[in-house]
Chain A
Amino acid sequence: MGYEPLVKQNPLRVLKLTGNDKKMGLIMARAGLGKTALLVQIALDAILRGKRVLHISIGESLDKTKLWYDDMLHVILQECPVAKPHELIDMVRQHRMIMTFKVGGFDRERLAERLHDLIQQNIFTPDCVVIDGFDFAAADHAKLEDIRQLMDELKLQTWFSATSHRDDTRVSPSGVPAPCHEMDDLFETVALLKSYQDHIELEILRDNGAKAEGSSNLCLDPATMMVKQA
């Protein structure tokens, strides 16, 4: 497709996004640090590799979610210009579908129903699903395991975002903060966005289903929210 350089140069390669269909990943951060931006970059990376992405946005509007893609794509095209930007924009449009739900209106049954609608009628067969805004505080291990099972059956790579809170200090043995500290075993990859005085760092807490060692050497550019090498 001619976007290999964009894919290869992407610092997100650290997250080992290719190869494992059944992978479930989690991006955690406190509110406002850039979880959605990171999820959208993961989605765009999949699209550039020719995959189809279903973006589920809970509690956010369709227009706002679309705007995230437009903005991130704009930054990508500014940083790494391609010969025919319109083709890339078209490709993103064709390889992405957005579903928005109200908070409290999203559960495993509804997700299954919607995915089956899409796949069985051949409307849109996703390879990757990103779920932004899932309420982990209201979920438990069993509920999330249920969703994981569904995604496994459908062979879908899935990425979640979760908000951690400053005043909740609980963490799992692998360092995953609340509210996901009791479900971290369900994720192959868990990455945490951490805010420092002048930058935001991406720390990988779990990798390949085990506690990760060492730093990712990645951070988020506070101006563009793009991931870059630290």
Chain B
Amino acid sequence: MNKDLKFVRNIGISAHIDSGKTTLTERILFYTQRIHAIHEVRGKDGVGATMDSMELERERGITIQSAATYCSWKDTSINIIDTPGHVDFTVEVERALRVLDGAVLVLCSVGGVQSQSITVDRQMTRYSVPRIAFINKCDRTGANPERVVRQLREKLNLNAIMLQIPIGLEADLDGVVDLITMEAVYFEGEQGRDIRRAEIPAHLLEQAKAKREEMLDAVSMFSDELMEAMLEEGDIPAELIHDAIRKGTLSLQLAPVMMGSAYKNKGVQELLDAVQMYLPCPTDVENIALDLDNNEAEVKVSNNTADPLVALAFKLEDGRYGQLTYVRTYQGEVRKGDFIINTRTGKKVKVGRLVRMHANEMEEIDEAGSGDIIALFGVECASGDTFCGGNINWSMTSMHIPAPVISLAIKPKDTKAQDNISKALNRFCKEDPTFKSFVDHETGETIISGMGELHLDVYIERMKREYKAEVEVGAPRVAYREAITQRAEFDYTHKKQTGGSGQFGRVAGYMEPLPEGNYEFVDDIVGGSIPREFISSCDKGFQASMDKGLLTGAPINGVRMVINDGSYHTVDSSDMAFQQAAKGAFKEAYRKAGAVIMEPIMKVAVEGPSEFQGSIMGSLNQRRGIIVGTSEEASYTVVEAEMPLSEMFGYSTVLRSLTQGKAEFSMEFAAYRQVPKGVAEQLIKDFEASKKN
């Protein structure tokens, strides 16, 4: 690992599912000599790609967890986080982006900018991650890099500038033309290891000249020197162009576009050069921490190795040797045997083993400097915790974590599975903040919840494979909410006299919808009609009532409770009595407050050939969806809709059969909205029936 941070790159590789990013990572590892043989994602050798370390990932050919790996290219050390492509796992993408300084956005030259690329790009913008685009699969039938560049501009609003043009396309893809040096680049020898630079083929010369002009026009915006050189009309040194591209990329105002085919071993080394030249090193990026001793004031981390350590735990894994914690250091150094403090818990922990990760293999190291990505062994913490050294008490800004929208009941198949399930759930919850589990005390069932069907599906598979816990799975359940629509008054007295000391408490006031936020308690009591010590009891009673609505038992959202009157008894009033009174008052008012059931609405994007547009829209319409719009481009259409999550179960199968497998969809949570009357009635009926059983 390089000590000079100028020669360190922490990058992510993000893309839409099946754009070939795992294949690309595999090639990068090969050319940087981290691995000595290439294994394809769904290869016949059955080994699977190196980065897909989990058995399940190899089987499905998708990458579920971001595995960190390290390699070096020329004189630069590169840490790569391979990020998942499916939208259900976006928390992984977000976590990876939080700790990265730059990223490579992989796009399929046929599919172009697909829905997941848009989601990922939005996340990159949120975390201000400079990126390079790599148009992959230029060897596929229908490859059209120019169209992809247009889409990058139109759909992602990126100032996408081609630095290369392809030499041939589809089956004739031979190499690329480097528009900076104006040379043809061919990838020859065994697995494209040897790079041959030659003259640009005559038939491409005019196109290359035009594209270079276009590129220089865009890039010169970032360098006065380059602009001057262009005006002088002499030779323009490549260094000037590289510097300008780097400036534009770092300021997020330019997205250089590279291209090739990872599978056919073309263009990968050039991409590595681009990573080295244009993506930021740790000192180029400003990272902010919150000073917990100073009212969470923002402080800039220094990147200086001599300063006290600040490191963020961004990912946990339970390995054979205990918990493995992936950490990004922002300043200071971490050494084997050091004591560091987890600022969330305030606990001091000793750094036992320190390793550098390479997919699922690891290399022992003694120390790691600022800006590095490494893993610690045996350190107890949760994902998102900050570790500090010295006397500082900082926390890296918290990550945006979406709330789960879907849940499943699981039941162990045998008693042995029971123990293993709890171990597994414990670990999954720690690793993935969007995955939650709890026991429903009324039914005794274990409920797991997450961001989508596939998300939960993967965890159930992992329980089976990694923990040998076979489970029976119930039907997926949507996380409904209840809400009120109008103001309602209450005046409730709780009174009990059953021998011994009695219970007495009266609360009066009103409840009303709270437009923003979940719950608010307002104390408008004057004249001491409820003594001060019992005000918090009322608040507690109301809050407890929010957990289960009366219509379907779902949690209630958005309620302001105001108390303005009440009475008490000097002997019989107690904390418990006022809590009970508040619960009674809540029920009384809730019945009058126009309670409704809310359901999660997902933003769904279905992409497919235009000939299926009618069927796609029809299928969404049948599922209570609102079609927001359609975008038609050449023979391809994207239908965007807002769909109730409850109607999307099994949609992938329906879509496959409707479109001969040519369309695909992605979805993400959009908002909670009121369910239609008919559906609400059915939900209430079901809830009533379940209570009787």
Q: Are A99's CB and B621's CB within 8 A?
A: no
Indicate the size class of the contact surface on chain A: 20 to 34
Q: Given that A66-B629, A100-B632, A101-B632 are contacting pairs, would A118 and B617 also be in contact in the complex, using a CB cutoff of 8 Å?
A: yes
A-chain residues with CB within 8 Å of residue B525 when the two chains form the complex: none
Q: Given that A61-B154, A62-B640, A105-B634 are contacting pairs, would A99 and B629 also be in contact in the complex, using a CB cutoff of 8 Å?
A: yes
In the complex, what distance in Å separates the CA atom of A99 from the CA atom of B638? 10
CB-defined interface of B593-622 with A at 8 Å, one 1/0 digit per residue?
000000000000000000001100110010
In the complex, what distance in Å separates the CA atom of A62 from the CA atom of B618? 20
A-chain residues with CB within 8 Å of residue B631 when the two chains form the complex: 61-62, 99-100
Q: Are B621's CB and A121's CB within 8 A?
A: yes
CB-defined interface of B332-370 with A at 8 Å, one 1/0 digit per residue?
000000000000000000000000000000000000000
Quick one: closest B residue to A93, CB to CB?
A: B626
B-chain residues with CB within 8 Å of residue A66 when the two chains form the complex: 628-629
Q: Are A117's CB and B614's CB within 8 A?
A: yes
Q: Tell me which residues from 14 to 72 in chain A have a Cβ below 8 Å from any Cβ of chain B.
A: 55, 61-62, 65-66
Indicate the size class of the contact surface on chain B: 20 to 34
Is residue B576 within 8 Å, beta carbon to beta carbon, of the partner chain?
no
Q: Which of B621, B627, B633 is in CB contact (< 8 Å) with A102? A: B633
Across chains A and B, the number of contacting residue pairs, with CB separation under 8 Å, is 59
Q: Would you give the shortest CB distance from A9 to chain B, in whole angstroms?
A: 26
In the complex, what distance in Å separates the CA atom of A110 from the CA atom of B618? 17
CB-defined interface of B147-164 with A at 8 Å, one 1/0 digit per residue?
000000011000000000
Q: Which of B613, B614, B629, B642 is in CB contact (< 8 Å) with A100? A: B629
Q: Are A62's CB and B628's CB within 8 A?
A: yes
Q: Tell me which residues from 106 to 127 in chain A have a Cβ below 8 Å from any Cβ of chain B.
A: 110, 113-114, 117-118, 121-124
A-chain residues with CB within 8 Å of residue B618 when the two chains form the complex: 117, 121, 123
Q: Are A102's CB and B634's CB within 8 A?
A: yes
Q: Which of B614, B642, B673 is in CB contact (< 8 Å) with A121? A: B614
In the complex, what distance in Å separates the CA atom of A122 from the CA atom of B620? 12
Of B628, B634, B640, chain A has the most CB atoms within 10 Å of the CB of B628
Q: Which of A61, A105, A110 is in CB contact (< 8 Å) with B155? A: A61
Is residue A82 within 8 Å, beta carbon to beta carbon, of the partner chain?
no
Is residue B191 within 8 Å, beta carbon to beta carbon, of the partner chain?
no
Q: Tell me which residues from 56 to 104 in chain A have a Cβ below 8 Å from any Cβ of chain B.
A: 61-62, 65-66, 90, 93-94, 97-102
Q: Given that A102-B634, A117-B613, A121-B614 are contacting pairs, would A65 and B629 also be in contact in the complex, using a CB cutoff of 8 Å?
A: yes
In the complex, what distance in Å separates the CA atom of A124 from the CA atom of B625? 11
Of B626, B630, B642, chain A has the most CB atoms within 10 Å of the CB of B630
B-chain residues with CB within 8 Å of residue A100 when the two chains form the complex: 629-632
Q: Would you give the shortest CB distance from A221 to chain B, in whole angstroms?
A: 27
In the complex, what distance in Å separates the CA atom of A122 from the CA atom of B627? 12
Q: Are A62's CB and B634's CB within 8 A?
A: no
In the complex, what distance in Å separates the CA atom of A114 from the CA atom of B617? 11
Q: Are A98's CB and B614's CB within 8 A?
A: no
In the complex, what distance in Å separates the CA atom of A62 from the CA atom of B673? 22
Q: Are A94's CB and B617's CB within 8 A?
A: no
Q: Are B640's CB and A114's CB within 8 A?
A: no
Q: Would you give the shortest CB distance from A61 to chain B, in whole angstroms?
A: 6
Quick one: closest A residue to B633, CB to CB?
A: A102
B-chain residues with CB within 8 Å of residue A65 when the two chains form the complex: 629
A-chain residues with CB within 8 Å of residue B633 when the two chains form the complex: 102, 105
Q: Given that A62-B640, A114-B613 are contacting pairs, would A98 and B632 also be in contact in the complex, using a CB cutoff of 8 Å?
A: no
B-chain residues with CB within 8 Å of residue A117 when the two chains form the complex: 613-614, 617-618
In the complex, what distance in Å separates the CA atom of A94 from the CA atom of B676? 13
In the complex, what distance in Å separates the CA atom of A65 from the CA atom of B621? 21
In the complex, what distance in Å separates the CA atom of A65 from the CA atom of B630? 11
A-chain residues with CB within 8 Å of residue B640 when the two chains form the complex: 62
Which residues from chain A sit less than 8 Å from chain B, CB to CB? 55, 61-62, 65-66, 90, 93-94, 97-102, 105, 110, 113-114, 117-118, 121-124
What are 11 A-B contacts with C-beta separation under 8 Å? A55-B629, A61-B631, A65-B629, A66-B628, A66-B629, A99-B629, A100-B631, A100-B632, A105-B634, A113-B614, A123-B618
Which residues from chain B sit less than 8 Å from chain A, CB to CB? 154-155, 613-614, 617-618, 621, 626-634, 638, 640, 642, 673
